[in-house]
């Protein structure tokens, strides 16, 4: 999920899933997918001609920038004019960028889209260079003078928080000449960040494998996931898929290791260039996140890792006994806990998500319906489509959501997750000026995980089938292990590799594998049994380690925050519940109008304390107890 929401790349925050005895590929031909399941990009531009006109208008308008240079200190209205001018460019940039990017993500193999994407990035690099003078010149004006201008000029009020943050950041803003020099390196640094995507997506050639039943399958990420979950396949099939798929990364292990080494060096160089003591501090500073929040998270989870290991031991017992396995390997961990093999069609997921959101009031519920029913969502996987899922709010239009829906329970929760982001975007844009409408990731992931909790608890109350209840409890536990535990493990890993570079040591393949093994045993224990050393390459398939420094910890902090907020809204007296709901909706409406720690504190969460993290540990214990009870009960029934 960023040290600075700087110019155009602030919107690059975006932010990572059978009816037969072999996995049924769900990758479709895009032209055969019904229109209602594909996003309607004509809400941004009717056609490419309109986009070209706006691109030319942007380029022409950009050339007016020098009219403002040297005038900022003269009077308040001059400052307002340049801030408004820049804001108009930024609003236009959202539409220009996302019209291309959403087309590209629907088919990344389309050369026209790739060309236009490259064109727009070049234009934005030009923007960066043209604006290098702005912040240095602005910071030459005394802060008290700026504050007086804001007090006496209402037109400057929407920019007060940006200006406050900028002056706080003053010692990290360089001279105009140095800012210009750094801007020349921007395309190179962006190129380093994009290399991982090229290596792991564009250059990835998925192998074909033959299963024990004679069926041949292209082992893309979707099919690989299906094979590991398919109860009807043999353990040898899972092993074969596991080896083949992981070899895609293992075969390039030296390249991934050297790329990560280069990325961490780049992060440290950028931090030093802007006078930061460490890469971590450079990424926490802009949003005023105390370093102790990051380190407390790691400390709490590490010191309570036995709680999580108990679950992995239970998971091993359930799967091993159910499938009569002699050995429980890494490729067996996705097998079902029961014989339930239920699918969750998109239509059903929509219905349940809408019902689960009713407790948040009619306005929240109507926003959910609007997002689901107006072609804001690209639902199904097709050839060439971007992996994963995301939401992006296109200012002046509406949010767009990318999914790769495949009728699994996890897909249903992914819809709920991304809709949480969409609702946040809608509330923010309705209640904040453009300059304050973009929430930090530190807050944004609260909205997404909160919306998942609405669905989860709705289903736990609704579902009576004990097998399905076990599946839902596993989903709930998986949210904690995936969003809280695993992301904390990654945060620990990321901190250690950055500190190694900052201590003038090199990151080698051997070091990465050893660190991976050490932390894996600390956080997860020895469950399951490792197959050779394939588990030692976790770092190679986590894209955020390569392109978004110190991003992943925010998933864990946000998960803890949303759990606290959900508890406040659903427990206690009616008066207290309503007050908690009001505070939460105010959090969504606040966008980016304050520092995230302050926003969360107003809503009722104080992350400077360890209690929110400890509460997740305690919640995890309850869920595991409940799962064990349900499994034992089902065993007696069977």
Catalytic site positions: 418
What is residue 108's DSSP assignment? T
What counts of helices (H) and strands (E) characterise the chain? 25, 5
Judge whether 305 and 321 are in contact, CB under 8 Å.
Answer: no
Taking each helix axis from N to C terminus, what angle separates 441-462 and 409-431, rounded to the nearest 10 degrees? 130
The phi-psi region of residue 390 (left if phi > 0; otherwise alpha if psi is between -120 and 50; otherwise beta) is beta
What 3 state SS string does 458-508 have?
HHHHHCCCHHHHHHHHHHHHHHHHHHHHHHHHHHHHHHHHHHHHHCCCCCC
380 token code pair: 């199904």
Which backbone phi and psi does 273 adopt, to 5 degrees?
-60, -30
* HSE-CB for 14 with a 13 A CA cutoff: 23
Of 249, 338, 325, whose CA–CA distance to 527 is shortest? 325
Strand, helix or coil at 100?
A: helix
Kindly report the length of the chain. 638
Strand, helix or coil at 383?
A: coil
* HSE-CB for 202 with a 13 A CA cutoff: 13
45 token code pair: 């531009």
Alpha-carbon distance of 499 to 88, in angstroms, equals 40
Alpha-carbon distance of 312 to 318, in angstroms, equals 10
Contacts 24+ apart (CB under 8 A), 565-573: 565/446, 565/450, 565/603, 565/604, 565/605, 566/450, 566/453, 566/454, 566/457, 567/615, 568/604, 569/359, 570/457
Give the CA distances from residue 540 to residues 206, 381, 485, in Å, rounded to whole numbers and listed in that order. Answer: 16, 24, 19
Four-residue CA torsion sign, 41, 45, 46, 47: negative
Angle at 197 between CA 46 and CA 384, to 5 degrees: 50
Judge whether 490 and 513 are in contact, CB under 8 Å.
Answer: no
531-568 burial: b if 16+ Cβ within 10 Å, else e: beebbbbbbbbbbbbbbbbbbbbbbbbbbbbbbbbbeb
Judge whether 440 and 592 are in contact, CB under 8 Å.
Answer: yes
Alpha-carbon distance of 18 to 230, in angstroms, equals 8
244 token code pair: 């083949």
Judge whether 344 and 413 are in contact, CB under 8 Å.
Answer: no
Angle at 378 between CA 376 and CA 384, to 5 degrees: 145
Of 390, 386, 382, 423, whose CA–CA distance to 406 is shortest? 382
Residue by residue, DSSP assigns 422-463 as HHHHHHHHHHS-GGG----HHHHHHHHHHHHHHHHHHHHHH-
């Amino acid at each position: 999920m960023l040290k600075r929401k700087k110019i155009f790349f602030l919107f690059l925050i975006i932010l990572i899933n059978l009816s037969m005895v072999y996995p049924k590929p769900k990758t479709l031909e895009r032209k055969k997918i019904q229109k209602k399941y594909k996003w309607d990009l004509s809400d941004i531009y009717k056609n490419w001609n309109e986009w070209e006109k706006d691109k030319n208008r942007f380029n022409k308008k950009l050339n007016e920038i020098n009219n403002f240079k040297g005038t900022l200190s003269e009077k308040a209205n001059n400052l307002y004019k340049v801030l408004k001018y820049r804001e108009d460019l930024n609003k236009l940039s959202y539409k220009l960028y996302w019209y291309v990017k959403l087309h590209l993500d629907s088919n990344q193999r389309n050369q026209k889209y790739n060309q236009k994407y490259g064109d727009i990035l070049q234009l934005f690099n030009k923007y960066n260079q043209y604006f290098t003078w702005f912040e240095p010149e602005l910071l030459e004006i005394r802060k008290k003078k700026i504050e007086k201008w804001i007090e006496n000029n209402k037109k400057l009020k929407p920019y007060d928080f940006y200006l406050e943050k900028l002056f706080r950041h003053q010692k990290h803003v360089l001279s105009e000449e140095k800012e210009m020099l750094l801007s020349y390196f921007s395309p190179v640094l962006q190129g380093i960040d994009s290399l991982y995507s090229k290596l792991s997506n564009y250059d990835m050639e998925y192998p074909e494998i033959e299963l024990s039943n004679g069926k041949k399958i292209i082992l893309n990420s979707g099919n690989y996931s299906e094979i590991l979950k398919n109860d009807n396949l043999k353990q040898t099939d899972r092993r074969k898929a596991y080896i083949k798929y992981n070899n895609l990364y293992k075969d390039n292990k030296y390249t991934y290791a050297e790329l990560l080494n280069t990325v961490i060096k780049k992060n440290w160089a950028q931090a030093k260039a802007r006078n930061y003591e460490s890469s971590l501090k450079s990424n926490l500073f802009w949003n005023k996140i105390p370093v102790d929040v990051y380190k407390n998270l790691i400390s709490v989870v590490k010191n309570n890792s036995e709680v999580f290991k108990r679950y992995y031991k239970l998971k091993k017992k359930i799967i091993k006994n159910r499938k009569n396995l002699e050995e429980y390997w890494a490729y067996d961990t996705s097998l079902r806990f029961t014989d339930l093999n239920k699918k969750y069609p998109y239509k059903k997921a929509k219905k349940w998500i809408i019902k689960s959101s009713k407790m948040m009031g009619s306005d929240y519920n109507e926003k959910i319906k609007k997002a689901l029913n107006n072609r804001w969502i690209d639902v199904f996987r097709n050839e060439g489509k971007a992996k994963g899922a995301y939401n992006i709010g296109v200012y002046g239009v509406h949010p767009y959501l990318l999914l790769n829906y495949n009728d699994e329970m996890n897909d249903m929760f992914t819809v709920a997750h991304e809709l949480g982001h969409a609702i946040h975007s809608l509330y923010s844009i309705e209640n904040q000026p453009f300059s304050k409408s973009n929430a930090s990731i530190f807050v944004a992931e609260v909205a997404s995980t909160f919306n998942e909790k609405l669905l989860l608890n709705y289903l736990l109350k609704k579902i009576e089938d004990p097998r399905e209840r076990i599946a839902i409890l596993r989903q709930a536990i998986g949210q904690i292990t995936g969003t809280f535990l695993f992301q904390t493990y990654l945060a620990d890993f990321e901190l250690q590799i950055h500190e190694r570079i900052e201590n003038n040591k090199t990151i080698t393949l051997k070091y990465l594998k050893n660190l991976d093994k050490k932390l894996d045993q600390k956080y997860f224990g020895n469950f399951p049994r490792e197959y050779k050393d394939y588990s030692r390459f976790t770092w190679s398939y986590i894209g955020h380690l390569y392109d978004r420094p110190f991003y992943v910890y925010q998933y864990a902090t946000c998960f803890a925050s949303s759990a606290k907020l959900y508890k406040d809204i659903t427990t206690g007296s009616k008066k207290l519940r309503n007050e908690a709901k009001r505070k939460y909706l105010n959090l969504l409406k606040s966008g980016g109008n304050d520092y995230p720690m302050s926003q969360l504190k107003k809503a009722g969460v104080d992350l400077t304390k360890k209690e929110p993290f400890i509460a997740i540990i305690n919640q995890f214990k309850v869920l595991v107890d409940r799962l064990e009870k349900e499994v034992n009960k089902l065993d007696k029934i069977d």
